[in-house]
């Protein structure tokens, strides 16, 4: 099935969508976004994603967006697309106004973009089975990484460095030498039988998949703790995992060329992968999830 875009009340092919040059998302990155995964024609973790979208809009002082209408437009876009396995990208900007740093006064209508794209999980499933390499890069992002904004240049540059190094991702290290997260996924690690991750706050995005994985840890008989660690501690962890909307739970088997768990996916990652898939299947069969 082809991709389908929604832009300010109209549906079209994505390549036909046009935004004025004075849109503040284009000029300033004055926009927030979400990406959701569709399984068998249904949106996974829909409420959690929309709760985070609402939080991001409030954080950038753009709270007047009618999220009920946006949510309905997302569902209509998915229905019209006919896609069963897909991702849906939602982006909301402050709208179109003359280029001034101050907010438009009076406020203008937001620009609302929704794109439904077909998704083939085969390549990512292979990565989940075999694990991936990761490199480390300095975390040069702005100070509000908890907002899912479109200001992603630092992420792009770090991810391109990973790509050029033949790695899947880049783990970001802040000015104090501490692990934060990766360029477009959460980072978790296992030490002494405990699943660990960076504390939530302004330094990391509150990942929906991370939240889901943490809710499933009890199914594996494990526990979770927040901790701040440096790169050497991460490299010495028993296991390192990435979590994200499309990658789900993805084992890291090398960091900066150094093997993790002997260069093989580990048992905790395998257990969490299985728990995650069971949760998706439970939701598909019953209509309710056990992750919220």
Catalytic residues: 148
**What is the rounded CA–CA span in Å between residue 214 and residue 211?**
5
Cα separation, 83 vs 85, whole angstroms: 6
Dist. CA 89–CA 264, nearest whole Å: 33
Angle made by CA atoms 78, 82, 84, in degrees to the nearest 5? 85
Tokens read off for 258: 């150094």
Burial of 85 (0-12, 13-18, 19+ CB in 10 A): middle
Between CA 204 and CA 247 the distance in angstroms is 18
């Amino acid at each position: 099935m082809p991709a389908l875009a929604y832009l300010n009340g109209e549906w079209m092919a994505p390549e036909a969508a046009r935004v004025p040059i004075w849109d503040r998302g284009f000029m300033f990155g004055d926009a927030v976004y979400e990406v959701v995964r569709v399984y068998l024609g249904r949106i996974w973790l829909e409420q959690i994603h929309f709760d985070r979208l609402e939080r991001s809009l409030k954080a950038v002082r753009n709270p007047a967006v009618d999220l009920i209408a946006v949510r309905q437009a997302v569902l209509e876009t998915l229905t019209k697309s006919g896609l069963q396995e897909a991702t849906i990208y939602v982006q909301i900007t402050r709208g179109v106004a003359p280029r001034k740093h101050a907010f438009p006064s009076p406020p203008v209508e937001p620009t609302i973009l929704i794109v439904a794209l077909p998704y083939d999980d085969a390549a990512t499933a292979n990565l989940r089975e075999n694990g991936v390499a990761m490199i480390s890069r300095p975390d040069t992002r702005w100070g509000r990484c908890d907002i899912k904004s479109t200001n992603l240049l630092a992420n792009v540059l770090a991810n391109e460095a990973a790509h050029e190094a033949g790695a899947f991702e880049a783990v970001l290290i802040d000015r104090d030498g501490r692990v934060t997260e990766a360029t477009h996924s959460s980072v978790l690690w296992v030490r002494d039988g405990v699943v660990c991750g960076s504390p939530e706050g302004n330094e990391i995005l509150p990942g929906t998949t991370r939240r889901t994985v943490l809710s499933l840890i009890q199914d594996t008989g494990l526990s979770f703790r927040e901790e701040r660690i440096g790169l050497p501690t991460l490299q010495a962890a028993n296991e390192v995992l990435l979590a994200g909307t499309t990658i789900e739970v993805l084992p890291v088997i090398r960091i900066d060329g150094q093997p993790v768990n002997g260069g093989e996916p580990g048992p905790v990652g395998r257990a969490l992968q299985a728990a995650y898939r069971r949760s998706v299947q439970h939701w598909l069969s019953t209509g309710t999830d056990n992750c919220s």
